[in-house]
Amino acid sequence: MREFTIGDLGIGECAGEVVSLFGIEVVKAESQSFDAQIALDEGEVDTAEELAYAAMLSAARALVRTEFIDVTEDPDEIVREFKTRFFDTERFFDRFAKGKFGLYLLDRHGDPGKRGVPADRRGSAVHRSLPCLRGAARRRGRNRADRRDDARLLTASPLKTRQRSARRAREDMTPQRIAAKLFTTDPSAPVELHPFIGLFHRFIQQAAVPGLLIDVADYSHVPEGPGVMLIGHEVDYGIDFTGGRRGLLTVRKRGGSLPIAELLRDTLRKALTTARAIEAADDVDVHFATGAVQVQFPDRLVAPNADQSYEVAVKELEPVARELYGDGFGIERQNAADPRQMLALRLSGDAADIATLLGRLGEVPMAAPGSWEIDVEDLKQLREGDGPLQLIDVRESREREICHIGGELIPLGTLGAKLGDLDRSAHIVVYCRSGARSAKAVAAMRDAGFENVWNLQGGILAWIDRIDPSLTKY
């Protein structure tokens, strides 16, 4: 395993990339699994078994925290939540190995003294399962051979890693993340970052740019780093200084099974829409060059910086480049000499204004701020009327035990898996404690095609304050 130092900033894995909490915790589990393998190689079977069990707990907790951020480090709670959310529902099942990871974990947790599964098999199970954990939310259907490749990548030599990654690029290049960077008209000119903090907060409040927006992160202290970032659920935006070149970096996350071309097309729409909003803002003076865009593939295991990946990427990106720039487009590979860098390509052509480029790709429809909300008084009238109404509570079960106003309990973290069971034509009102989580749920449901779904403004707290003070407030 390679250690990273401050000297790696701006290179490869440390190129200003924001690592998710999930990714950090999976790395912890990998480290524990690696130690278990070393102990096993040295004949310390009992130590290896304990370390493998700890690695499985860390991996399971990482997965649970993608839906239930407040899960503790108590093994009983981790296993219970993992079993309820992912094992019993078969949401974390491989089509060949089924729930092997969960079976190992439940077996070991249920009887710490049990040796029904040998320690060496437990350790290998963790190695096989950790890469699968990374892709659990995006590609649960990957076959077992791919997972064996992932496990070998954890300990393989750099040459073999590149060879196997290159083979995967030919066989299955389905990245979950793709990035597009629009450079400023003078990429080397200084850009004042502080105004972007307020601007990005305003974008969140006004839903001014595409995506479910969550927070603003200030990385201006990092030399040639990600600058100021607008963090979203499925897309991040940032005024990025990587490589000493200023620009708007748009990173599309959670690609699912989308083809590369469609993933890039959607990313470019979002990038151009956001660039237009920035140019129109009064508190910043930044303009973007539209004659070229840099496309990056942050998922290095799926899309390594290798010739085979480049060939696949060019084939996928050519139709989008033609849409954007016409037949005179160009595609140029960047960073080819350094395999530690992300695979990056430069799409170029005749410059046009942002509105023209968006017209070629199709604009992202924007909702009017607050247009998907109703207040508690309106909900009260709806419930007293005769019309059909479906109420959904997206809080956790322990919150519902304190107070509720009825409706179906679907915790926010499990909503995605339940969308297929809901009636898209129904009149739906979603609520949570204060209205924040339900707003995210409504945005996700609207994106999924639900046209008559509404967020209860202020959540159940507003209901208690203005409608039913007899309920317990928390």
Per DSSP, the residues of 164-202 read HHHHHHHH----S-EEEEEEBSSTTS----HHHHHHHHH
Q: How does pLDDT run across 202-258, given as a tens digit for each residue? A: 888 777 888 777 789 998 888 888 899 998 877 899 999 988 899 999 999 877 667
> Which letter does DSSP use for residue 361 in this model?
H
The whole-angstrom separation of Cα 121 and Cα 129 is 12
What's the confidence (pLDDT) of residue 170?
A: 45
Residues 128-155, mean pLDDT to the nearest whole number:
40
What's the confidence (pLDDT) of residue 98?
A: 60
Known catalytic residue at 432: yes
What's the confidence (pLDDT) of residue 417?
A: 86
Identify the residue with better confidence: 417 or 1. Answer: 417
Confidence grade of residue 21 (pLDDT, cut at 50, 70, 90) = low
Q: Which residue has the tokens 């009017």?
A: 368
3-class DSSP state for residue 32? helix
Q: How does pLDDT run across 278-322, given as a tens digit for each residue? A: 999 988 999 999 999 999 998 877 888 999 999 999 999 999 999
What's the confidence (pLDDT) of residue 383?
A: 87
What's the confidence (pLDDT) of residue 143?
A: 37
3-class DSSP state for residue 364? coil
What is the share, in percent, of the chain residues with pLDDT greater than 90? 34
Q: Which of 14, 132, 403, 432 is catalytic?
A: 432
| Residue 2, token pair as written in the block | 């390679």
The whole-angstrom separation of Cα 248 and Cα 278 is 10
Average pLDDT across the chain, whole number: 79
Low-confidence winner among 56-60, 161-165, 332-336, 420-424 (lowest mean pLDDT): 161-165
The whole-angstrom separation of Cα 412 and Cα 149 is 33
Residues 420-439, mean pLDDT to the nearest whole number:
88
The whole-angstrom separation of Cα 89 and Cα 87 is 5
For the chain, the 3-state helix, strand and coil shares in percent, each to the nearest 5, are: 45, 15, 40
Q: How does pLDDT run across 167-189, given as a tens digit for each residue? A: 544 445 778 889 999 999 999 99
What's the confidence (pLDDT) of residue 44?
A: 76
What's the confidence (pLDDT) of residue 349?
A: 95
Confidence grade of residue 111 (pLDDT, cut at 50, 70, 90) = low
| Sign of the C-alpha dihedral computed for residues 327, 328, 329 and 335 taken in this order | positive
Q: Is the pLDDT of residue 404 over 90?
A: yes
The whole-angstrom separation of Cα 92 and Cα 63 is 10
Stated pTM of the model: 0.50
Confidence grade of residue 52 (pLDDT, cut at 50, 70, 90) = confident
Confidence grade of residue 411 (pLDDT, cut at 50, 70, 90) = very high
| Residue 311, token pair as written in the block | 């060939």
- Residue 41: Cβ within 10 Å count: 11
